[in-house]
Amino acid sequence: MTKKAGEDAVLGALSEHSVILRSSWVYAASGRNFLGTMLRHLRSTGAVRVVADQIGTPTAARSVAEAIWQVIEKPAISGRHHWTDSGVASWYDFAVAIAEEAAQLGLLSASTVTPIATEEYPSAAKRPAYSVLDTRTLTSLGFIPVHWRTRLRSVLGEIKHA
């Protein structure tokens, strides 16, 4: 609610001259994020337990950066918009894909990803069961999302060649 209040304040003060770009499940080759956490745990223990009943869209930071550049190039765009990669996955699906793709690139050896329910993973933050964002306002303007698994392969390639 505090994020929305901040967004509302910006839009109220600069309605025609501002863009709020929301995204979710963002990850990159570096920094603290789900991808790094999964790789670290899979490398150290060979196994992880991951929530399977929360659905969203894994989104590479590069995708968000590219969308921001596209917004900059279209000054007529204003308001609040959503941007993510395409497709949907659970956190479990994302972790399985990380393990599979990383193994194919030689970043991991055999590993096990076990699905669990949200109740089995204690967290102070409450997460929605379904958090897929609607990107139609930007896709209707010609923005083309890349599927999350394609972006994952690319980011893992960055890690391999770093």
Q: Summarize pLDDT for 40-97 with one digit per residue, the tens.
A: 999 999 999 999 999 999 999 999 999 999 999 999 999 999 999 999 999 999 999 9
Backbone φ/ψ region at 141: left (φ over 0), alpha (ψ -120 to 50), beta = alpha
Inform me whether the pLDDT recorded for 110 exceeds 90: no
Q: What is the pTM of this model?
A: 0.94
Per-residue burial over 124-138, b = 16 or more CB atoms within 10 Å of its CB, e = otherwise: eeeeeeeebbebeeb
Inform me whether the pLDDT recorded for 37 exceeds 90: yes
**What domains are defined for the chain?**
21-160 (3.40.50.720)
What is the predicted pLDDT for the residue at 15?
82
Strands 55-56, 89-90: pairing is antiparallel
Q: How far apart are CA 28 and CA 102, in angstroms?
A: 14
Q: What is the mean pLDDT of the chain?
A: 96
Phi, psi of 153 (to 5 degrees): -55, -45
